[in-house]
Structure 1
Amino acid sequence: MAETWSFDDGTAPVTPDAAVQAIRARIACGRRETWLRSSAGRALALVTNAERAMVTLTDGPGDPGGHAVSPGAGGRSGGFVLENGQDDEYPDADTVPLAEAFRIVRHVLAHGAPPPDAAWAVDR
């Protein structure tokens, strides 16, 4: 059986395009943290400041997994607001532009891994 992905709220599995559309709607409503869980127990998270995003993929609880990166990007960006109200700041090199984040999310949901040409840091 193929791996399926659902939002953390327990809704039915979503297609890659429907997931990205829903994440866009969440961001428009001010919800900047999104978690998707797979039928295999993996987790995909996206936290954004509406311009850049931290995208992480883990194999399950306790796994440090990996995250999307922008090699060579300088500076830091803030405004990554979590559901609990925590407001984080990250080096731009550890985040990606929001359009790239959507491309990565779509690819992970469709193929189980980030796109081969996406810059990715393994945190294990």
Structure 2
Amino acid sequence: MTGSWVIDDGSAVVSPEVVLETLKARIGGGELETWLTSSSGRRLAFVTNSRRVMLVLMDGEGDPGEHASDPGAEGSSDGFLLSNGEYDEYPDEDTVPLAEAFRIVHHIVGKGSWPPDARWVVDR
């Protein structure tokens, strides 16, 4: 593992073994936006509508980062409720299905990088 990750609200340090259960519990409790920070300063934003996820990996505060993508996906999805009350809609090609997001997050928390077969877009 490349460093440790913590949920930004201070609720938990997460490992690859527990990160998915933590995210599932937060979603089940209505918390659809989760931010994680690594000991190296990287940040991971996970925002879901319970079907798709906007997943952004940043090198630190202020970095536009990179987001997971689903090339060729058509349409858009709404229902992305941010903690500041903003209600967003994103093109499906800029989000990934929930199961894929879980797979990517597990890898990032364990290895510190995107899975080799994941698709992402650099926003820098």
TM-score, normalised with respect to structure 2: 0.95
Instruction: State the Cα deviation string for residues 23-69 of structure 1 (Å, max 9, x = none).
Output: 10111111100000000111001000000000000000111110000
Identical-pair percentage = 59
Is 1:21 paired with 2:21?
A: yes
Instruction: State the Cα deviation string for residues 74-99 of structure 1 (Å, max 9, x = none).
Output: 00100000111111000000000000
Distance 1:62 1:73 in 2: 28
Unaligned runs of 5+ in 1: none
| Conservation of the 8 A alpha-carbon contact between 2:41 and 2:60 | yes
Distance 2:13 2:72 in 1: 36
Distance 1:51 1:103 in 2: 14
Partner of 2:42: 42
Distance 1:12 1:91 in 2: 31
Distance 1:2 1:58 in 2: 15
Distance 2:65 2:75 in 1: 24
Distance 1:119 1:12 in 2: 28
Partner of 1:53: 53
Alpha carbon RMSD of aligned pairs, Å? Answer: 1.3
Runs (4+) of structure 1 moved beyond 2 Å? 10-13
Partner of 2:77: 77
TM-score, normalised with respect to structure 1: 0.95
Partner of 1:93: 93
Unaligned runs of 5+ in 2: none
Partner of 1:65: 65
